[in-house]
Structure 1
């Protein structure tokens, strides 16, 4: 039986850059599509010989759920989710100085303006998990999560890594933090009214995050109790 394709759905500002560095160690350059845009990946894959297609073992990137349809083979996903309010704060301060489109548009944009402007700041996590052209729905997201081997939690990064190591057979999970947003305020330093607005804009993300966190805690408990 053909081994499952392992897909890392990288949700921005969840610790995914650090996690991806660990993930990539298990594969050679010809075995993984690492943050290749969908159109370029689809074109490249379609031009491969059948034996070369079988060598592809992994995919990582800021893709939406459904990327597995490109490969027509067994698959499983994993991802990381983050406290939605903290994630949006991190996104704003990261993108504000990100070269190109975001830096040009956000140079003089306040955080309050940003959370209404960028779709990533409004239930961005559940959007990726539901799929690009799917209606946002907690039920749809939970259904899709059934095909995820692990949904890690940024605030429980080390614990999430231990579960990924167990589930995916990783050997080396040592890491140095990558792509950390600097010069951002703490959550408690953001005005209360803006936090309230942020919560309203991310209610579905908050509900899915709590669901995923509860499930992760249960899996970790099961792992601890299982015989070696």
Structure 2
């Protein structure tokens, strides 16, 4: 960050002089779950000086940097956000609430594929474009662990080999984490209503204004997929489908 940008960011913190900072929040930004829109909203609720944003291109570097901080410095942050912020849940201030947004996992995979096709900077773009990878092949070739039961892996932190050999154990662990350690799990399909609940939970002074950021244009809808492709996408994400349905049924939203 340049010196002038740093000055501008810190100047923005002056707006918090007249209002209280809300409860502390860790937000796990799951790719292609509306996170860009949500993160923009959440970031506006916290001073820049009290925000720790992971570098989503090199999240493990940001995670290790945070873990290496003295406890006093780690606890000074009120908002921790990014892909894999979940890995910092035991290092943040003990009063920090945890939140995330999920979406229908089949719809997420379709969105993920078309997003990569239109994003030359994405790490999968070259391979997908060069080899003319179809959506069906995109999930079955296992190009990335983002593409197979990502929810269960992400929240259980059980490695893929063990996850596939003991699927029930991995699924139950991920559900346990989301229901017992996360105070808020929202859904992209009901984003506006869920973020209103999050506003009340956190004590935000501003409401969410519906907007689209990082949306995938020109993509197929799930109902437009051919039966074989749909079958393959579902088969590669059976655990995520089960987790999503379980969390939807329980409506795990803090209050």
Range class of TM-score, shorter chain: 0.7 to 0.9
SS across alignment from 1:60 = strand
- The change in CA–CA distance for 1:112 and 1:49 in structure 2 (over 3 A counts) is closer
Aligned match for 2:127, one of 72, 88, 105? 105
Question: What is the TM-score when the length of structure 1 is the normalising length?
Answer: 0.85
Unaligned runs of 5+ in 1: 224-228
Q: CA deviation at 1:155?
A: 0.7
Q: CA deviation at 1:123?
A: 0.7
- The change in CA–CA distance for 1:133 and 1:70 in structure 2 (over 3 A counts) is farther
- The change in CA–CA distance for 1:88 and 1:179 in structure 2 (over 3 A counts) is same
CA–CA distance in structure 2, aligned partners of residues 34 and 43 of structure 1: 11
Q: CA deviation at 1:41?
A: 4.4
Question: What is the TM-score when the length of structure 2 is the normalising length?
Answer: 0.76
**Cα RMSD (Å) of the superposition?**
2.5
The equivalent residue for 2:177 is: 144
CA–CA distance in structure 1, aligned partners of residues 197 and 93 of structure 2: 27
SS across alignment from 1:65 = helix
- The change in CA–CA distance for 1:39 and 1:73 in structure 2 (over 3 A counts) is farther
- Taking the TM superposition and a 5 Å limit, the aligned residue runs for 1:56-135 are 56-63=77-84, 65-71=86-92, 73-100=94-121, 101-107=123-129, 108-116=132-140, 117-118=142-143, 119-131=145-157, 133=159, 135=162
Aligned length: 217
